[in-house]
Amino acid sequence: MTAYRPRAIVIGASAGALEALTVILPSLPSDFRAPIIIVVHIPSDKRSVLAELFRAKCRIQVIDVEDKEPLKPATAYFAPPDYHLLVEDTETLGLTYEEPVLFSRPSIDVLFESAADVYGSDVTAILLTGANQDGAKGLVAVAEAGGQVIVQDPETAFAAAMPEAGLRLCPNAEVLSLDGICAYLRRIG
């Protein structure tokens, strides 16, 4: 059996995102193969410091997305505040300013659904800590397209509501601790 090698990783996180991503992203090697596309809920009037913050800690590249950003390996892409982030095609990210979804812009559902459309079974979606329901529907879309879905163990999450909502809609998702997620990524990347 050939090992599962997704063409991209999509990650969604809300409350507690910073701590969770601080475990995951710096653990990735500089030759990590797949692009990692990330939506974190941040207040719309804030300038995002996420990319700046992680750039110093990571061996992979870290980028604040602008419209039509080309996708490259070994790179983490952060959605800017107040825009939805979508995968346009296998090589390009796009932004839109459509209405918030579940009060969120960027929306994890929007990212995950677009990734499922573009990559089909070749994407892994990871839903982390958070205090709302965003991302659950997106997980279902990825799972239905044949991609792998992972939910942070709610027991270990800073805020359990989001991973719990994910598991309710997508009960077959793999449940992993942050260390488990790191190990998974090193295995597939």
Partner 1 sequence: MDAPVIETFEKVEDIEIRLLLEALYVRYHYDFRNYAMGSVKRRLRQACEQMGFATISALQEKILHDETMLPRLLGYLTVQVSEMFRDPSYFRAIREKVVPHLKTYSSLKIWIAGCSCGEEVYSLAILFREEGLEDRTIFYATDINQDALQAAEAGVYNLDRVQLFTENHRKSGGRSSLSDYYKAGYGRVSFDRSLRERVVFSDHSLVTDAVFGEMQLISCRNVMIYFDRTLQDRAVGLFKDSLARKGFLGIGAKENLRFSAHADGFKEFVREEKIYQRVGL
Size, binding site for partner 1 by CB under 8 A? 25
Residue ranges of alpha helices (H) inside 68-189 are 108-119, 136-144, 161-169, 178-188
87 near partner 1 (CB under 8 A): yes
The 8-class DSSP code of residue 68 comes to T
Which residue in the set 22, 27, 92, 156 belongs to the binding site for partner 1 (CB under 8 A)?
92
Active-site residue, selected from the candidate residues 41, 104, 109, 122: 41
**Whole-Å CA distances, 63 to 17, 44, 168:** 17, 18, 32
Burial of 1 (0-12, 13-18, 19+ CB in 10 A): exposed
174 near partner 1 (CB under 8 A): no
Q: How far is the CB of 124 from partner 1 (least distance, A)?
A: 19
86 near partner 1 (CB under 8 A): yes
Q: Which amino acid is at 89?
A: D
Rg of the chain on CA atoms, in Å = 15
Q: How far is the CB of 69 from partner 1 (least distance, A)?
A: 8
38 near partner 1 (CB under 8 A): no
Q: How far is the CB of 50 from partner 1 (least distance, A)?
A: 14
Which residue in the set 67, 146, 168, 171 belongs to the binding site for partner 1 (CB under 8 A)?
67
Q: Are 16 and 129 in contact (CB under 8 A)?
A: yes
Task: Judge whether 14 counts as a catalytic residue.
Answer: yes
- Interacting positions 113-172 with partner 1 (CB under 8 A): 113-114, 117-118
Active-site residue, selected from the candidate residues 104, 134, 153, 177: 134
Task: Judge whether 41 counts as a catalytic residue.
Answer: yes
Helix orientation angle between 136-144 and 108-119, rounded to the nearest 10 degrees: 10
Q: Are 148 and 124 in contact (CB under 8 A)?
A: yes
- Write out the residues near partner 1 by the rule CB under 8 A: 65-70, 80, 83-84, 86-89, 92, 94-99, 110, 113-114, 117-118
**Residues with catalytic function:** 14, 41, 134
